[in-house]
Copies of this chain bind each other. A is one copy, B any other.
Amino acid sequence: MSDNDVTRIDGRTPDQLRPVTLERGWSKHAEGSVLVSFGDTRVLCTASLTEGVPRWRKGTGEGWVTSEYSMLPRSTNTRGDREAVRGRIGGRTHEISRLIGRSLRAVVDFKALGENTIVLDCDVLQADGGTRTAAITGAYVALADAVTWAQGRKLIRSKAQPLTGAVSAVSVGIIDGTPMLDLCYEEDVRAETDMNVVCTDDGRFVEVQGTAEGVPFARTELDALLDLAVKGCAQLDGGQRQALAAD
């Protein structure tokens, strides 16, 4: 396909991911922790497991998984206000925190997790596009480590695996008419259409969020983007497996 003759800002082909690293055990305190990078995007993901669940879930025998996403003020090109100083969380932060939480919960068997709560903190140390997809991809690995840790301590005693699959995410977009995988910031700004796709390791969808930044997009474009995203997630899934096997 001729699209792949297009060379991108950073020399990649349209269907190529940026270099991905998943550095486990980055924090000595957290039950699971990963410093994930998608190119220059770097997100520190920590999984904090505590016994017990929020009040509305008590006595159900089921656990809970949630997430909080945030960007350091100077993770971006120009310094942003610190949300703690402004005293309120912005809409974008809320939206992404919720997306990460939903994405991870899609592969959790809460009965098997038992009445434990896992909070995934995803703090963007450096941003260059795709922070939410890097966060989901990294947070899954931190989550897996926290589950293993809790099984080792018998905090999780169920025979069933609390994780029913793996989950990863990638952004795709159309730039100058060409569908591209894993947009860096400069590409993201120029994209006519921008889509974040969250897949499980069996190639099914957990979340599909497509937005026309400029002109509305046609069904054929949507289809091409979905194809690209599924392919990208499959590669990320491979990276997650490798990282988790490394120990």
Binding site for B on A (CB under 8 A): 27-30, 33, 40, 44, 46, 48, 50, 68, 70, 72-79, 82-95, 97-98, 102, 106, 119, 121, 123, 125-128, 165, 195, 199-200, 202, 204-212, 215-219, 222, 226, 230
State the 7 A-B residue pairs at the shortest beta-carbon distance, nearest first.
Answer: A91-B94, A204-B216, A83-B84, A46-B74, A48-B79, A84-B84, A208-B210
Q: Is the CB of B102 within 8 A of A85?
A: no
Q: A106-B216, A205-B222, A207-B211 are in contact. Are A82 and B94 (CB under 8 A)?
A: no
Q: Is the CB of A44 within 8 A of B70?
A: no
Query: A94, A128, A207 — which one has the most chain B CB atoms within 10 A of its CB?
Result: A94
Copies in the complex: 6
Q: Is the CB of B206 within 8 A of A77?
A: no
A102 to B212, CA, bound (A): 9
| A30 and chain B: residue at smallest CB distance | B74
A83 to B123, CA, bound (A): 13
| A207 and chain B: residue at smallest CB distance | B211
Q: Which of B33, B78, B88, B127 contacts A87 (CB 8 A)?
A: B88
Q: Which residues of B contact A72 (CB under 8 A)?
A: 44, 46, 121, 123
Q: A28-B126, A206-B216, A210-B208 are in contact. Are A98 and B87 (CB under 8 A)?
A: no
| A218 and chain B: residue at smallest CB distance | B204
Q: Is the CB of A29 within 8 A of B76?
A: yes
**Measured between C-beta atoms, what is the minimum distance from A114 to chain B in Å?**
19
A210 to B126, CA, bound (A): 28
Q: Which of B50, B91, B102 contacts A79 (CB 8 A)?
A: B50
